[in-house]
Amino acid sequence: MVVQLKYGRSCVPLDIGVLVNPQVLTGREAKPLADLRSEVLSRLRHPTGTDSLLHEVKRRRARTVVIIVNDITRPTPYTDILPPLLSELREAGIADEDVTLVVATGIHRGMTPEEMRLTLGREICETYRVVNHDCDDEENLVPLGTLPFETELRVNRIVLEADFVIATGVISPHYFAGFSGGRKAILPGVSGRATISHNHSLMTSEAAAVCNLDGNPVHIEMVEAARKAGVHFIVNTVTDGVGKVAAVVAGDVEKAWLEGVKICSDYVVAPVAREVDVAIASAGGFPKDINVYQAQKAIDNADRAVRKGGTIVLLAECPEGCGEPTFESWMTEARSLDDIFRRFAAGFVLGGHKAYSLARVLRDKEVVLVSSLDDVLARKLFFTPAKSLEEALHLVESKHGKDYDSIVMPCAGIVVPVPGGGMAGKVTLQQL
């Protein structure tokens, strides 16, 4: 049996016949939606927790609308989401020139014009105003008070000055916010750097874990931020266990999103019989492996399935290298993993939090990285570099012998392993 492992915009075949008693871990695959645009339109007209989008816009007598959109690092199908959404806004009396699309970059770089056209569609970019959020533009950040865990909330002025705010995104597992999507469009999406930094510093809480919302301080603050910023409506796609769209949810920023979370968890949480010696994992291809910063999510998930002292083989092209300057400096300036832990203990820094998360895995497990990175850089990041999957498997055999047990994760960026074969109590959803 050959398993195709996504790598950038291509795939690397793996003949699992060369492995001893391999487990192939995938989430559940949803039945394909017949017509995604029609499904989006249906949800806009029959949302969860609100009246229809058209009714809500008219009820609030809105004249200006902001649509918050993801950047290129998120696989959100905007060419299917935006046309029916914009059509409904026109039906509600909103002129094209009164709609602004704000790219929720968080601390990421802004999208280039070409990336905007690729992500959102050329016609939309030519018709509507599209702007990148800048978390460091202090003059364009408005204070909105304090969040439950003492985070000072500052949000993009363009978003706050709109009569009606629509947040879009994709719901999938997140390694410390529980799940992506929904409220994340505001925090971190269009918040200031200091706001994002303090909120993300709460990731050290035991409750700040993948697929957990119960008592998760990161998530709790994100929900409050979305309410304070005045998100009136959301449209989110839901990811299944193979990275495809399983469903569309729309409506209230809490109720509709939680509906999507419950759907997502049913597809992406996967029980495994036991922890294994080796995980062979794909980050999921472009854009999930656009850089190391994004591919780290796959390492975090694979870590859950591998015993202490084991090995993770990660396929991630990383054409943009590390992907975030602070993350890169923390990793490459460290002489040992202990340096990263000491630096993190001295004070939370955005970008450094990814270095800390990666170091926690690397402390107990080797990560063999198949990527386009230079070997010198890969080693500075504390990876063992390999130019091919074949070379990586040879390194694994040299370390573990020929009888190692393994798990293959074709979609490691979105599938969450639950060791022990049981799922009870492993996914906890806060009742919003």
* Catalytic residue ranges: 108, 174
- Reduced to 3 states, what is the DSSP secondary structure of residue 290? coil
Phi, psi of 75 (to 5 degrees): -80, 60
- What is the Cα Rg of the chain in Å? 21
Strand pairing report for 245-251 and 269-272: unpaired
End-to-end CA distance of the chain: 44
Closest C-alpha to 393, from 8, 3, 19: 19
Q: Token match 């492996």: residue?
A: 289
**Cα 228 from Cα 401, distance rounded (Å):** 56
Element (H, E) at 276: strand 276-282
Residues 53 and 47 sit within 8 Å (Cβ to Cβ)? yes
- Reduced to 3 states, what is the DSSP secondary structure of residue 178? strand
Distances (CA, A) of 80 to 236, 325, 328: 12, 33, 35
**Cα 29 from Cα 303, distance rounded (Å):** 23
**Cα 203 from Cα 305, distance rounded (Å):** 21
Residues 270 and 415 sit within 8 Å (Cβ to Cβ)? yes
Distance from the Cα of residue 137 to its chain's centroid: 24
Residues 179 and 173 sit within 8 Å (Cβ to Cβ)? yes
| CA dihedral of 49, 245, 158, 127, whole degrees rounded to 10 | -120
302 DSSP 8-state letter: H
**Cα 7 from Cα 392, distance rounded (Å):** 15
